[in-house]
Amino acid sequence: MKKLFLALVLVATSFMFWSCEDDTVDSLTGSVKFNLKGTAYNYTGAVSKNVGSKFIITTGSAQGAVAISLENSTAGTYKLGIGNSLTDAATFISSGLNYEALTNTILFYPFKGGEKYMILGGTCTITSSGNQVKGTFSGVAVSLSELSNIDASALLSIVTGSSNVTGEFIAYKL
């Protein structure tokens, strides 16, 4: 009888977790999900906060960390990265590739020696803002190591090229 009871408990428990929607978990904990160059990533526990003049959304796990930096937390579409002109690309390069100075960008920091990426061209749309911020993003992610040996025209062609990252987020405001 005990074995039958344990078997029923195991089946019922696994069914509860299997039937739980990812959207429910995400709405309770926050998340950043994205697909970068054909690989899917899913981070839970996303939070957001105004820091100085920037609105930051961040999350991390043993796999790595994600930081979304925007000029505002209100609903709307924000242009990500360096801009779409040769002058914008040249200015970014001549300023020492200072991606931390960019107003609107998304950084992906994998742990354990993986390549770091940032979105240098694209958009981020905040669809709702309140205690919970929701939105989507897409654009061209470039590895930080690629940036060290690139000229302005090559960078511009990459930034204005085809999107290689798409994602969505739900984050709780701290």
pLDDT in tens, the chain (174 residues): 333 333 222 322 233 333 344 455 555 679 999 998 888 999 999 999 998 888 999 998 888 899 999 998 899 999 998 877 788 888 888 777 777 777 788 999 887 777 888 888 899 999 998 899 999 999 999 888 888 778 888 888 888 888 889 999 999 998
**How far is residue 55's CA from residue 9's CA, in Å, rounded to a whole number?**
45
Per-residue pLDDT at 6: 30
Instruction: Assess contact for 131 and 93: CB atoms under 8 A.
Output: no
Per-residue pLDDT at 152: 84
Residue 14 lies in a domain: no
Residue 127 lies in a domain: yes
Instruction: Assess contact for 174 and 58: CB atoms under 8 A.
Output: no
Residue 12 lies in a domain: no
Instruction: Assess contact for 104 and 69: CB atoms under 8 A.
Output: yes
Per-residue pLDDT at 27: 54
C-alpha 81 chain-centroid distance: 13
Residue 33 lies in a domain: yes
Per-residue pLDDT at 10: 30
Q: State the sign of the Cα–Cα–Cα–Cα dihedral 51, 54, 58, 63.
A: negative
Residue 120 lies in a domain: yes
Burial bucket for residue 74 (CB in 10 Å: 0-12, 13-18, 19+): exposed
Per-residue pLDDT at 24: 52
Residue 4 lies in a domain: no
Domain that holds residue 165: 27-173
Q: How many distinct structural domains can be found in the chain?
A: 1
Per-residue pLDDT at 167: 95
Instruction: Assess contact for 86 and 152: CB atoms under 8 A.
Output: yes
C-alpha 21 chain-centroid distance: 21
**How many residues would you count in the chain?**
174
Could you count the other beta carbons within 10 Å of the beta carbon of residue 85?
Answer: 13
Residue 16 lies in a domain: no
Residue 18 lies in a domain: no
Return the bridge partners of 58, or none: 47, 67
Per-residue pLDDT at 57: 94
